[in-house]
Structure 1
Amino acid sequence: MGAYGFQLSGGVYPDSHQRSPGPHARRLIRNHRQWGGRVPAVCRIPGRAHPQYPPLAMEQVRKEIVRMMSVTAFMYADMHEVLSDFDARRADTIRQHEQVLDSLNHEITTFLAALARIADSPEISYDIPGLFQTVSDLEHVGDRCENILKGIVGKKEAGVVFSEDAMDDLKRLAQVVAGAIGDTEQMIRHGFIRDGFDLAAAKGAARVAFDTARQNHFERMSNGTCPPRAAKLFNEMTSDFEGIARLCWNIIACQERRR
């Protein structure tokens, strides 16, 4: 128990009923340390909390959200690599990332709910819903990444081959979304993205890329170069890429409203 009444456990998975991180998750944690991070601590508020505790609690929550963003960025980067060059070990790492995100989502939201019950500051009460939304959106980014991985694995197992043009479209979309992930990480870590950044312009440029990919896909289906199974997988994967971009924009907009 710390001086301010917060009990911080030593790791992501303190309870026996929760999943333990496998070797790839442990490697991820080592990477976090190289980034200057650490294993996200689990925050617990004691039943009898003093009104002075919430400010410290908010600081701790924001640190945990930064770490959750790091996990999300690692997960997307691995998925981006698997799209071009499938590797079973990297695919397993992606699944481990998702387990970590699930645990962080549960633990941070549980902590925020407890904090909401004792917070007596209007500023903290105003910030808590946005933090809930950010944590939820990051967890959903992980879900979308896992969906794309399932599409990649399903494509491989079914022997489905995308045309070179279709793969080029997917790679372009993956790169567009990588930019959105990077912008989101900048916002969460530093409170700003870069001088001259315009969210509306970023959305517009990304939507052009998605619209172009959809039009190209329609043309491939129309001329018979894209069979039904491949068409379904391509649609699902592009939908998940677009979903990740939208979640990133939501997070950026939410963070901007707090400032």
Structure 2
Amino acid sequence: MEILISLIGGLGLFLYGMTLMGNGLQKAAGEKLKKIVELLTSNVLLGVLVGAGVTAIIQSSSATTVMVVGFVNAGIMTLSQAIGVIMGANIGTTITAQLVSFNLEGLAPITLGIGIALYLFSSKSKTKNIAEILLGFGILFTGMEFMKDAVSPLAEYKGFTDALVNFGHRPLLGVLLGLIITGVVQSSSASMGMLIALASQGIIPLQSALPILYGDNIGTCVTSLLSSIGANKNAKRAAIMHLLFNILGTLMFLLILNKPIVAVVTRINPTDVARQIANAHTLFNIVTVIILLPFSKYIVKLAMKIVPQTEEEKEVKTYLDERMLETPSIAFANTLKETNKMAKVTNICLNSSMSAFLNKSKKDVEETFKIEKDINDYQRNILNYLLKLSKTSLTGNSVEEVDNLFNTINDLERIGDHSENIAELAEIAIDKDVSISNDGQKEIEEMFEKVKKNYEDALILINKKDKKIAERIIKTEEEVDNIEKSIRANHIYRLNNNTCEIDSGILYLDLVSNLERISDHCSNIAIRVLNY
């Protein structure tokens, strides 16, 4: 019981240290991670490199594959892209095993001391990120030392050591054990850590460790399979591809490549079993990727057969996936994509409302009302997601970016409201057969062109913080204000000269007021960029 308690305590420290180090690395590389979606092209080899790089940063292949499932579920990534990233994630996860296979426990107190000092006495976010990395590193190796000390008495239990040796003769049992352990702790790195701890104490030989190692790789698929529950069919296929890849790799090594890998790793480190296991883990994943990469399209096809395509399958409607909240920088990038969708829909709503008024189109009135409801749904969903995102570990600038996006979403929703107001004015004009004078029509069209240009510039600012465009919006907004004043003066003149009806005049002024308010909301977006 004492051994088990110590082992669990060490495992807990190991997992916490790995998470803390991963979070620190992720925050430090946050801006680079934001661009990952743009890097994911149809090039499978690039996907492998990206998958390996991201996993090396966030220290978890499970997190990367869950992220991939989320991308596929959101329609950001195709299955052909996903397979490359999944393969790369398996390579990236070997870094942790390589680290813990070295005797670096002596560095743990030093990194902990430096990390604590930096965290306590520095107010800079970048320094705190470095502190988290150092603290995570120190805690990880402290946990590793705990696990080694915990299992060392097991070397004296012949029954236990004989059972472990038996896995070398019955590899399927070893694979099953590795699968179960990783499935339970939800981390192949943690199960590899335990395996290396046993090896470092001379308790388990390489031949017995390899089947467990192969099982670890299959067990890591449990997380992505669980994350695909409730997702669309494409996301389920991505999780299945991960499972297929690791099963195929395990079969290749069990049946064909086991002896060659033993020969290679023992030649590199003849006496150090811990290093042999870490190298075997790295070689297993690299060789599996090299062999299976040319057949990636067939893995995709097999996944498609396991989860067949149906007519009911619908295109994904949102980029907002809670799986992405584990990686805040990417979650924010996805939120921007969803905001762009909302902004484009709002643009359609604005144009539809003006078409309804200028062309007296009942169809455009109804279309505007329908689109405005969609805009409200976008606002509600994005704001709820942003609220959850704001509670995650955001870096300094990201906090302000999230706050700004909150306000931008509300500005877009208010533009939708004003567009709805314009559609209501159009409906009244149609029902009462109210007409606007030719001069009034020209003035409205001139003002709308300015407002429309302002809105299109505001759309650019959602993604690109261009201060020149922001300044142009402010300038155009001043022009819109002047046009509004001129329109009101001209309207009074037409009323006094009986060239304009009172009923049409009321609608006319309400329309002008709504257009001016739309331009104000564009200006709000610009002001936030100038103050950023």
TM tier, smaller = 0.7 to 0.9
More divergent stretch after superposition (225-234 vs 128-137)? 225-234
More divergent stretch after superposition (197-206 vs 89-98)? 197-206
* In structure 2, distance between residues paired with 1:248 and 1:146: 17
Q: Does residue 174 in structure 1 map to residue 451 in structure 2?
A: no
How many residue pairs were aligned?
A: 230
RMSD of aligned alpha carbons? 2.9
* In structure 2, distance between residues paired with 1:236 and 1:125: 38
Query: Could you state the TM-score of these two structures normalised by the residue count of structure 1?
Result: 0.77
CA shift for structure 1 position 228: 2.8
Q: Does residue 3 in structure 1 map to residue 280 in structure 2?
A: no
**Aligned match of 1:89:** 363
More divergent stretch after superposition (184-193 vs 246-255)? 184-193
The 8 Å contact of residues 74 and 320 in structure 2, kept in 1 or not, is answered as no
* In structure 2, distance between residues paired with 1:183 and 1:158: 36
Deviations 1:142-164 (A, max 9, x none): 11011001101101111222222
Quick one: which of 518, 527, 530 aligns to 1:244? 518
Quick one: which of 496, 503, 509 aligns to 1:229? 503
* In structure 2, distance between residues paired with 1:167 and 1:124: 45
More divergent stretch after superposition (134-143 vs 73-82)? 73-82
**Aligned match of 2:531:** 257
The 8 Å contact of residues 470 and 527 in structure 2, kept in 1 or not, is answered as no
Which residues in structure 2 correspond to 1:17-32 (within 5 Å)?
Answer: none
The 8 Å contact of residues 183 and 193 in structure 1, kept in 2 or not, is answered as no
The structure that is helix-richer by fraction is 2
**Aligned match of 2:376:** 102
Which residues in structure 2 correspond to 1:1-259 (within 5 Å)?
Answer: 3-4=66-67, 40-41=317-318, 43-45=320-322, 50=326, 53-192=327-466, 198-258=472-532
Q: What one-letter code is carried by the residue in structure 2 that aligns with 1:241?
A: L
Q: Higher relative contact order by CA 8 Å / sep ≥ 6: 1 or 2? A: 1
SS in 1 for 2:506: helix
CA shift for structure 1 position 196: 10
* In structure 2, distance between residues paired with 1:76 and 1:245: 12
Measured at CA, do residues 182 and 42 of structure 1 come closer, stay the same or move farther in structure 2, by a change above 3 Å? closer
* In structure 2, distance between residues paired with 1:152 and 1:39: 34
Measured at CA, do residues 105 and 6 of structure 1 come closer, stay the same or move farther in structure 2, by a change above 3 Å? farther
The 8 Å contact of residues 40 and 64 in structure 1, kept in 2 or not, is answered as no
Measured at CA, do residues 210 and 42 of structure 1 come closer, stay the same or move farther in structure 2, by a change above 3 Å? same
**Aligned match of 2:277:** none
Q: What one-letter code is carried by the residue in structure 1 that aligns with 2:328?
A: P
Measured at CA, do residues 126 and 197 of structure 1 come closer, stay the same or move farther in structure 2, by a change above 3 Å? closer
SS in 2 for 1:118: coil
* In structure 2, distance between residues paired with 1:10 and 1:115: 17
Deviations 1:59-97 (A, max 9, x none): 111111111111111222222333332333332222222
Q: What one-letter code is carried by the residue in structure 1 that aligns with 2:452?
A: A
Unaligned runs of 5+ in 1: 15-37
More divergent stretch after superposition (198-207 vs 108-117)? 198-207
SS in 1 for 2:508: helix
* In structure 1, distance between residues paired with 2:355 and 2:411: 22
* In structure 2, distance between residues paired with 1:150 and 1:196: 31
Unaligned runs of 5+ in 2: 1-62, 76-229, 231-314
Q: What one-letter code is carried by the residue in structure 1 that aligns with 2:442?
A: D
* In structure 2, distance between residues paired with 1:125 and 1:112: 11
Report percent identity of matched pairs. 19
CA shift for structure 1 position 250: 0.8
Measured at CA, do residues 85 and 74 of structure 1 come closer, stay the same or move farther in structure 2, by a change above 3 Å? same
